[in-house]
Amino acid sequence: MGVSNSSYKLVVSSESPLQVDWIVPSKSKLTILKEESVETTKAIGKGKFGHVFMCKHVATSKYLAIKYIPKTIIHECQSASRIQQEMEVLLLLKHPFVVSYYCTYETNQCFCICLHYAAGGELYSLMKKSYKFSEQMAKFYFCEIALALSYLHNDLNIVYRDLKPENILLDCHGHVKLCDFGFAAPLDNEKSTLIDGCGTAMYVAPEIAGGFMKKNHGFPVDWWGLGCVLYEMIAGKAPFGDTDKMSKFEIFNNINAKNPSIPLFTNKQLKLLINGLLAKDPNARMNWKHVQSHPWLADVNWNDFMNLRIIPPWKPLNNKAPNTDCFLSWNELKLPTETVSHEVAGYCNSISIPKAKAESTKGKNADSFIEDEKEYFDKTSKNKPSPMQPASSSRRKSISGSGAGSPSQVVPDNAAPNMGRRASMSKQASMKGGM
């Protein structure tokens, strides 16, 4: 069975989704004190900066994702400050459409970031298998991503800076989980800007592409990225070209000088939304204020979305037993085992694993988790739920490879960034008007 693309409609569920008991719950308080607490099972993601594995938490026999960042790579890229910032950002995140962070632990070879396992794989794989989404199907994913961005910007003052289909995961029920916060950075306020360049060539905003990683940018780059993702869901291709077929400079020229060709079948209101999100001038670009009241989203009940009441158009088929069905196999990937040099260890000693605020541990084992499956928000609603419509449960096989929580593509300042489709670019972070 495939995605019920053309027939899908936004429908409110009258039932709660069944619990998947082999995955560590997203709201669990999971503490891992040593590498013996987990068993690595299968690699599900590969990036320039590290690898992601599905791992088994020994004490509970439940599964999570762990992002292993080798200390040798951190040293080579001189990226201690960026890794520090990523962990500090992850510690702040608590939202239904952002991947849940449990903790970080350290081995001799790696920093190990422990995350919720999103069993549905990447939205990118689903998009490539489906080619195009119907407007209603695209609307579902658009709304959940938009709510995640609104949370980052308005609640945390964090700009994400690497929105693309590969960084949008789907959980075991088919809901969005934004992942990979390697480029996320805090801003003092909505007028603060950053002057380092990062992102992925196909999705960077003109304020980055125009200055080739030198121009000021802030929250509007994320809404540009969302416009690119929305266009790709509807049109079946990226709006300004693909690095599989074009050079990054050709794509940058298109981003700076051309408007995307929106398919003729697209309705007027959706065209206006795409054009508004892809406005070249960041000051004229649409943001959350415009999105939440846009006519194309007139049928959206944002409260229902926030409370996970809208039935997703797709979910993984196999939720009964531990599996990596929605990810490519990366069996050749191995974790480093050699002891790092004194130079590498000394450099990485500057990284301090941030601690969550202290909570009462009376009656709890330090190497265990507390299951807490309550919803993130109050589930009371004035709206009466409509009859439940079954969502497609067919699994889409992954076509391409990074997987859950793909590691950030961080490069040293003197290196030319790899601008392949899955590669992100980065230069050392620098803040203007902030921090």
Which are the contacts of 5, defined by CB distance < 8 A and separation ≥ 6? 130, 132, 133, 134, 137, 313
CA distance 45 to 95: 23
CA distance 246 to 244: 6
What is each CA distance from 319 to 21, 120, 156, 222, 315, in whole angstroms?
9, 10, 33, 32, 9
DSSP three-state, residue 253: helix
CA distance 265 to 147: 27
Burial class (CB in 10 A: 0-12, 13-18, 19+), 276: middle
Count of CB atoms situated within 10 Å of the CB of 34: 10
CA distance 295 to 273: 9
How many residues are recorded in the chain? 435
Among the listed residues 21, 155, 162, 188, the single catalytic one is: 162
CA distance 420 to 248: 8
CA distance 209 to 253: 8
What is each CA distance from 68 to 83, 247, 257, 411, in whole angstroms?
12, 31, 40, 17
Burial class (CB in 10 A: 0-12, 13-18, 19+), 298: exposed
- Cα dihedral sign, 337-338-339-342: negative
**Is residue 162 flagged as an active site residue?**
yes
**What are the residue numbers of the active site?**
162
